[in-house]
Amino acid sequence: MILEKEIHFILALDALKNVNRRNFNLDNLRRENTAEHSWQIVVFAQILLPYAKDKSQIDLLRVIKMLSIHDVVEIEAGDTFIFDQSAMNGKYERELRAAKNTFGILDEPLRSDFLKLWIEFEAEETPDAIFACAVDRIMPFVLNVYGSALSWTEASVKKEQVENIVGKAVKRASAEMGEAFDILLKKAIDEGKLKT
C-alpha cells in the first residue's frame, strides 16, 4: 500500500500522548505528556527565534523538525527527568536504540534524516541544535516558575541544578533568553519554589 510505512510511523507516534513527563501542566491538575510538550516547544521556538544569538545562522524549519522528533524516543525509552542523575546514566545509549527502532519504521532517506537530526540535537553543537535545546529546556522551567513547581519540589531540585542544566543551555543560545532566565530564577527562589 502507498504510504504504508509513513502511516505506521505516524500511528506509532500516537503513543507519545501516553508518555507522562515529570513536569506538570500549568494548572497542576496532571503531568504533561510528551506530545503536549513537543507541540508547545515547536510553537515557543517560533516565538523565541528573534532573540536567538545566531538567528541569521538558524534554520527555523530545521529547528522545528528537531523539536518535533527529538522526544519520539520516549515511546520506547520513557521520559528521563533531567535532574535525576542516576536515571541520566546511559540515557543517550537507551535513546539512540529507541531512535533507531522508531525511525527504522520509515524508508530512506527519511529514516536517516530523522536520525541525523536527533543526533545533532543531542550533540548541541550547531546553531540550530543549541537554540532547539535551549527552547526544550526553558519550557519546563517556565511552567515550574509560573505553576506551583511540583516537579521541582517533589524531586528536591536545587537552584544550582537548574542553573547548570537549564541556565547554561539557555545562555548559550541567547543573551536575552539568559536574562529572562535569571529574572525567572530569582522569582522562583523568592516564591520558595526552588531550594538554594
Structure confidence at residue 195 (pLDDT)? 84
2, pLDDT greater than 90: no
Query: Is residue 134 a part of any domain in this protein?
Result: yes
Instruction: Confirm whether pTM is higher than 0.75.
Output: yes
Query: What span, in angstroms and rounded, lies between the C-alpha atoms of 139 and 143?
Result: 6
Assign 196 to helix, strand or coil. coil
How far is the C-alpha of 157 from the C-alpha of 141, rounded, in Å?
Answer: 12
Look at residues 134, 126, 167 and name the one whose alpha carbon lies nearest to residue 48.
Answer: 134
Tell which residue, 195, 176, 185, has the closest CA to residue 51. Answer: 176
Domain membership of residue 195 (yes or no) is no
| Domain hosting residue 24, numbered range | 4-190
What mean pLDDT value characterizes the chain?
97
Q: Is 53 part of a structural domain of the chain?
A: yes
CB-based contacts of 180, cutoff 8 Å, min separation 6: none
Beta strands in 16-128 (DSSP E): 20-24, 31-33
Instruction: Give the count of domains, the chain.
Output: 1
Q: What is the pLDDT of residues 124-147, one digit of tens each?
A: 999 999 999 999 999 999 999 999
Does residue 8 sit within a domain? Answer: yes
Please report whether residue 196 resides in a domain: no
CA 111 → CA 12, 17, 26, 104, 152, distances in Å? 14, 22, 35, 6, 36
State the pLDDT at residue 196: 87
16: domain CATH number?
Answer: 1.10.3210.10
The answer to whether position 24 is within a domain reads yes
Local confidence band at 22 (pLDDT 50, 70, 90 cut-offs): very high
Smallest CA-to-CA distance from 75 within 19, 5, 7 is with: 19
In percent, how much of the chain has pLDDT > 70?
100
Angle at 101 (CA atoms; ends 115, 118), nearest 5 degrees? 20
Residue-wise pLDDT for 51-86, tens only, equals 999 899 999 999 999 999 999 999 999 999 999 989
Quote the radius of gyration of the chain (alpha carbons, Å): 17
Residues, the chain, total? 196
